[in-house]
Amino acid sequence: MDRIYFDNAATTALDPQVLDVMMPFLSEKFGNPSSVYSYGRETKMAIENARKTVARILNAEPGEIFFTSGGTESTNTALNAAIRDLGCRHIITSPLEHHATLHTVEYLAHTGQARLSFVRLTDKGHIDIAHLEELLATSPERTVVTLMHANNEIGNLLKIKAVGDLCEKYDAIFHSDTVQTVGHYPFDLKGLKVHFINGAGHKFHGPKGIGILYVNRNIQIRPYINGGSQERNMRAGTENIYGIVGFARALELATERYEQDSAHVKGLKLYMAEKLREHFPGIIFNGDTFGSSLYTVLNVSFPMTERSELLLFNLDMSGICVSGGSACTSGANSVSHVIKAIHNGMSATMVPIRFSFSRHNTTAQVDMVIEKLKELI
């Protein structure tokens, strides 16, 4: 069976050009970067060259880029550092965040390390900026604001510059989970008032198990993982060298291809949305689908019926890979927390499906999925 893969927000296929630069570090270039002899020096140089590449593309300083195991570790590092090292005693977030954020802030609040507030949402699932300012203005404690740049389930984009300006106005620390946007949009970190962002290589045709944490040079934090002097004493553990060089190469390729790939993928999203509206009049598009939204993500709810209840399962049996929400919670049987939040608990009558696209997808694949949906529903 030829499978159709429409779950690129969960992970993307590794680009062959990325694999090519990784292979030497899986074979002959096996040295430990902490070693002083030639094997170690060549791998250490590869890491620092990758760091410079990432910093150049994101318009940051190389000293502000740290390599981690992925977005979850980066988020945990940033939020724990904001409480432990930067004096924050109040956390502001939204109910739509990835569980890497939500579970971390809930733990910090549950253990008494910080007070937790949730910003209100607009009717389309965006952050209510006026309420965010109200929460900041009335907070007696120093605050860390953690809001994702793009929602991984519904695709809504944050007004990241506006949030950064508010955080500067009220002396708050700002962390933004940018896992869905690093590698998909241009970044100018010197022009943003943000203290932490994170990225994950597997979201833009790089390897899994490698991510970055950007730490603004104007703040000082301590390591989250202790045990060695790697990453300039900021993250202990022998470096994932092939992952690091793969991340940098994938980010290079994504940047070079941005104009053509983003136009192609956005066209697929809009084409599928049009076909869905044409053939399934009872559907609901979740989030700000045709406004300020990721060009890679299309989230739609089908009315709950006997035929649609097992839609995800039946699509999978037909060789079509889609999801009901975040890959990190796809084993759960209930509707995702994001869909529940934007529909005010009225999600029990819906079957939400997230379609997410990459440069490898085609309109012919969209047509095949539409035909299969018509058959199943």
DSSP one-letter string for 26-58: GTT----TT-SSHHHHHHHHHHHHHHHHHHHHH
Name residues whose C-beta falls within 8 Å of residue 266's C-beta, 6 or more positions apart in sequence: 295
174: enclosing H helix or E strand: strand 173-177
Type of residue numbered 86: L
Q: For residues 278 and 110, what is the distance between their CA atoms, to the nearest angstrom?
A: 47
CA-based nearest residue to 181, from 57, 335, 288: 57
Burial class (CB in 10 A: 0-12, 13-18, 19+), 197: buried
Token code pair at residue 164? 């950064």
Across-strand partners of 353? 300
> DSSP state, 307?
T
Tell me if residue 167 is catalytic: no
Kindly name the residue from 88, 167, 321, 328 that is annotated as catalytic: 328
Q: At what angle do helices 363-376 and 258-279 cross, to 10 degrees?
A: 30
Across-strand partners of 350? 303
CA-based nearest residue to 19, from 168, 277, 225, 207: 207
Active site residues: 328
